[in-house]
A = this chain, B = another copy of it.
Amino acid sequence: MQILLIEDDAETARFIGRGLGEMGWTVVHHPEAGPALLTLSAGRFDAVILDRMLPGMDGIAALTLLRGAGISVPVLMLTARAGLDDRVAGLNAGADDYLGKPFALSELAARLRSLARRPPLVAEATVIEVGELVLDRVAHAARRGDVTLELSPTEFKLLDQLMQHPGEVVTRTMLLEKVWGLTFDPKTSLVQTHMSRLRAKLDKPFARDLIQTVRGVGYVLAPS
């Protein structure tokens, strides 16, 4: 799941970012509405969390603009006040749901899940298997054959992405977007480094390498 978070309060943003991040979701955060709208694309994000009160452009205004442009991504409005009037105003502007602060993270997550409800894809399965590889998103565990792999969160996401496309090249750009939520090239060996770490755990101890490099393009996971 890719979530776009538009929230000016650093505290709240941090709280949400961490919470959803722990669930394996990718959160892209913008404190201002303007830049955030630029980042937003209908296909890329599963849902948007939008703060009602923002410096510069108000949440409602941003939402109106968004809907005016014909973008139909699910939007969850976040607000300190949750009076009936606010609620109505928000929903009228095109919000799909409304949540007042303070809120429980679990509730936020639940609502996002229901908002972003999509036809069940490979991407949504809780357990993926590719050959002797098994990845369990709920238990946050990965195995190769009988050996349990001790992966860091980043390595886990990386492997997740690869396993979603077995036998297909996964480009570096794609990984930057899906794993790190970056829309630009950091021009460092970020991907290489983590790929190297993943390989150290995934391939090094075994005879056959599952991850192959495709020079100038990206990486492939050996298909089953």
A102: chain B residues within 8 A (beta carbon): 35, 38-39, 183-184
Distance of A82 Cα from B69 Cα, bound (Å):
12
Asked whether, in the complex, the Cβ of A39 is within 8 Å of the Cβ of B104, the reply is yes
A167: chain B residues within 8 A (beta carbon): 139
A220 is an interface residue with CB less than 8 A from chain B = yes
A85 is an interface residue with CB less than 8 A from chain B = no
Binds B, one of A48-56, A117-125, A170-178, A198-206: A170-178
Asked whether, in the complex, the Cβ of A22 is within 8 Å of the Cβ of B177, the reply is no
Contacts A18-B185, A39-B103 given; 4 further ones with Cβ under 8 A? A14-B185, A39-B102, A140-B214, A153-B217
Which residue of B is nearest A165, CB measured?
B138
Asked whether, in the complex, the Cβ of A41 is within 8 Å of the Cβ of B110, the reply is yes
Please pick, from B22, B169, B183, B220, the residue contacting A105 in the complex, using a CB distance under 8 A.
Answer: B183
Distance of A82 Cα from B204 Cα, bound (Å):
48
A110: chain B residues within 8 A (beta carbon): 41, 43
A89: chain B residues within 8 A (beta carbon): none
Distance of A39 Cα from B35 Cα, bound (Å):
31
A23 is an interface residue with CB less than 8 A from chain B = yes
Asked whether, in the complex, the Cβ of B103 is within 8 Å of the Cβ of A21, the reply is no
List residues of chain A with CB under 8 Å of any chain B CB. Answer: 14-15, 18-19, 21-23, 35, 37-39, 41, 43-44, 82, 100-107, 110, 138-140, 152-153, 167-169, 171-174, 177, 183-185, 214-218, 220
A38: chain B residues within 8 A (beta carbon): 82, 100-103
Please pick, from B22, B44, B174, the residue contacting A217 in the complex, using a CB distance under 8 A.
Answer: B22
- 6 CB-based A-B contacts, threshold 8 Å: A23-B171, A35-B102, A38-B82, A38-B103, A105-B183, A139-B220
